[in-house]
Structure 1
Amino acid sequence: MTEVKRPINSHRAYHAHVYFEQETLQFATDLCHKAGELYPVTVGRVHQKLVGPHTKWSCQLKFTSRDFDHLITWLDENRKGLSVLVHALSGDELEDHTIYAYWLGEAVPLDLSEFQ
């Protein structure tokens, strides 16, 4: 089993991708919108299809280092078993989704082929 890296606040900007399935769609949607109400994050679309390197349905939250600690703590406490990928926005997509990728919950395999 691969060790899951906990999120570290070491960059200026981030994405968090909340992963879900049909059974958890409503909960994930509510979670993402609640994050947008509580914190200055940009809430992306709730994708009921695979997008980019993500191998599960997802919703993206975009935020800065200023809100990292509070948002990540809140997400971790409220995700109820959902996996959340947290990654830096360094300008290098491959590094962001590998070296600077962190997890809340179980890691979900990513399809990194588009970055190579």
Structure 2
Amino acid sequence: MKENSIITGFHAHVYYDSETRDIATRIREELGAKFEVRLGRCHDQPIGPHPKSMYQVAFAPNQFPQVVPWLMLNREELDILVHPETGDDVTDHTAHALWLGNKLDLNIDFLQQIKPNAS
């Protein structure tokens, strides 16, 4: 059994496209105003394991009970991946992932290639 103490933080990846970018931008601004989060920049094309445009929101474990319910109620039609940071990117983005909206197909091969001690 794993302990919650191995979670050092959380990431929420908010996905959007050209038609929903304004919504995503508004949600990003509201997140920054309401919560103690670190806002990543908008990537208007796929990057890393992410199959479409997105930005990342990083937050501490103690912010989870505030940030995630707010995202659940205010995501509009956007798809959002929420995952812990445990030091295992592959597992964090797969087995430990929480999806709001549709589950997108991530490029797990990308994560496996950057995994520490990958063979």
One fold, TM greater than 0.5? Answer: yes
Instruction: State the match for 2:51 in structure 1.
Output: 55
User: C-alpha displacement at 1:65, in angstroms?
Assistant: 1.1
| Matched-pair identity in % | 37
Runs of at least 5 residues in structure 2 that lack an aligned partner in the other structure: 113-119
Superposed CA offset, 1:79-116 (max 9, x none): 11111000111111111111111111111110111122
What stretches of structure 1 of length at least 5 have no aligned partner?
1-9
| Alignment match of 1:110 (pick from 88, 106, 111) | 106
Aligned pairs, number: 107
Higher Rg of the two aligned structures: 2
Deviations 1:2-57, CA, capped at 9 Å, x for gaps:
xxxxxxxx433100000000000011011012101100000000110111100010
- Please provide the CA RMSD for this pair: 1.0
Task: Note if 1:101 corresponds to 2:91.
Answer: no
Q: How high is the TM-score relative to the length of structure 1?
A: 0.88
Moved over 3 A (4+): none
Q: For CA contacts below 8 A with separation 6 or more, give which structure has more relative contact order.
A: 1
1:89 paired with 2:85, answer yes
Counterpart check, 1:33 vs 2:29: yes
Normalised to the residue count of structure 2, the TM-score between the two structures is 0.86
SS at match of 1:27: helix
Structure with bigger strand share is: 1
